[in-house]
Structure 1
């Protein structure tokens, strides 16, 4: 089971599960709206796929579906 990533993989911005401005590719690489629109131009640098808005998770989620506590950040892509 994949867990929602809590930060932008480029700038490390916090993107909690309820965030309205998180973007993902089909592999669920996670980006903030600013990075997705500007630097990445709507394409995932990992797979080349199109980025789409990540649906926010309801605040009252079942305990069997935890969110990830660790982010994935590539220091070579940081601003």
Structure 2
């Protein structure tokens, strides 16, 4: 099951489970669409492809809550502006 991480690793922007512009790689590194575009659609951690993260239906959130652990790597935002 996806962790559904709560933020962009590069700019720390909130990306809730309903976010339509959350992008992830196969390791679930999470970025907002803006930062993903600046990274040419590739994860800076693993170089994997960044794809749109599926949204978790609201009816499933109580039994399967999203992650609350934030991952923020400020060095990834170098040259990226929100």
1:49–1:69 CA distance, 2 compared to 1 (3 A): same
Describe the shift of the 1:23–1:62 C-alpha distance in structure 2 as closer, same or farther (beyond 3 A): closer
Which residue of 2 is the match for residue 50 of structure 1?
49
> What does residue 28 of structure 1 align with?
28
Residues in 2 aligned to 1:11 and 1:62: alpha-carbon distance in whole angstroms: 25
- With 63-72 and 48-57 compared, the bigger mean Cα shift is at 63-72
Structure richer in helix, relative to its length? 2
TM-score w.r.t. structure 1 length? 0.88
- Structure 1 gap ranges (5+): none
After superposition, give the CA deviation of every residue in 1:21-62 in whole Å (9 maximum; x if it has no partner). 000000010000000012x11000110101100011111215
- RMSD, aligned CA: 1.4
5+ long unaligned stretches in structure 2: none
Structure 1 runs (4+) greater than 4 angstroms displaced = none
